[in-house]
Structure 1
Amino acid sequence: MTQINEIIGLKISQAESKKNWSDFFDYLISRGLKSPRIVISDAHQGLRAAIEEKFVGSTWQRCTVHFIKNIIDAMPKKDSEDARNLAKSIFRSPNSKIARELKEEFIKTYEDNGKYQKAIERLDDGFEDAIQFFAEPENAHKHIKTTNVLERINSEIRRRERVIRIFPNQQSAFRLIGSVLMDYEETLDQGIRKYIHF
Structure 2
Amino acid sequence: LLIRNSLRYVPYKDMKSVASDLKVIYRAISLDQAEEALLIFSDKWDKKYPAISRAWHKNWSNIITIFDYPDEIRKIIYTTNAIESLNSVIRKSINNRKIFPNDQSALKVVYLAIQKASQKWTMALHDWRAAMNRFAIEFDERFY
- Structure 2: 5+ residue stretches without partners: 122-131, 139-144
Of 32, 35, 41, the residue aligned with 1:100 is: 35
1:107 Cα deviation after fit: 0.5
Equivalenced residue count is: 122
Question: Quick check: 1:133 aligned with 2:81?
Answer: no
Q: Distance in 2 between matches of 1:184 and 1:118?
A: 37
Task: Report if the CA contact (8 A) 1:130-1:145 is conserved.
Answer: no
Of 47, 50, 54, the residue aligned with 1:121 is: 54
Q: Secondary structure of the residue that 2:13 maps to in structure 1?
A: coil
Q: Distance in 1 between matches of 2:116 and 2:134?
A: 19
Identity among equivalent positions (%) equals 20
**Amino acid aligned to 1:170:** F
1:154 Cα deviation after fit: 2.1
Q: Which has the higher strand share?
A: 1
**Quick one: higher RCO (CA 8 Å, sep 6+), 1 or 2?**
1
Question: Quick check: 1:152 aligned with 2:82?
Answer: no
1:103 Cα deviation after fit: 0.7
1:91 Cα deviation after fit: 0.7
Q: Describe the shift of the 1:165–1:151 C-alpha distance in structure 2 as closer, same or farther (beyond 3 A).
A: closer
Q: Distance in 1 between matches of 2:42 and 2:34?
A: 12
Q: Describe the shift of the 1:104–1:140 C-alpha distance in structure 2 as closer, same or farther (beyond 3 A).
A: same
Question: Quick check: 1:91 aligned with 2:26?
Answer: yes
1:184 Cα deviation after fit: 6.2
Aligned to 1:176: 109
Q: Describe the shift of the 1:176–1:195 C-alpha distance in structure 2 as closer, same or farther (beyond 3 A).
A: farther
**Amino acid aligned to 2:27:** R
**CA distances 1:94-140 after superposition (whole Å, capped 9, x unpaired):** 22222222111110012233xx1111210111123212121233332
Q: Describe the shift of the 1:195–1:155 C-alpha distance in structure 2 as closer, same or farther (beyond 3 A).
A: farther
1:168 Cα deviation after fit: 6.2
- Structure 1: 5+ residue stretches without partners: 1-65, 188-192
Q: Which has the higher helix share?
A: 2
Aligned to 2:6: 71
Q: Distance in 1 between matches of 2:71 and 2:95?
A: 42
Q: Distance in 1 between matches of 2:18 and 2:37?
A: 11
Task: Report if the CA contact (8 A) 2:25-2:37 is conserved.
Answer: yes
**Amino acid aligned to 2:7:** I
Q: Describe the shift of the 1:165–1:131 C-alpha distance in structure 2 as closer, same or farther (beyond 3 A).
A: closer
- Give the aligned CA root-mean-square deviation in angstroms: 3.2
Q: Distance in 2 between matches of 1:100 and 1:111?
A: 15
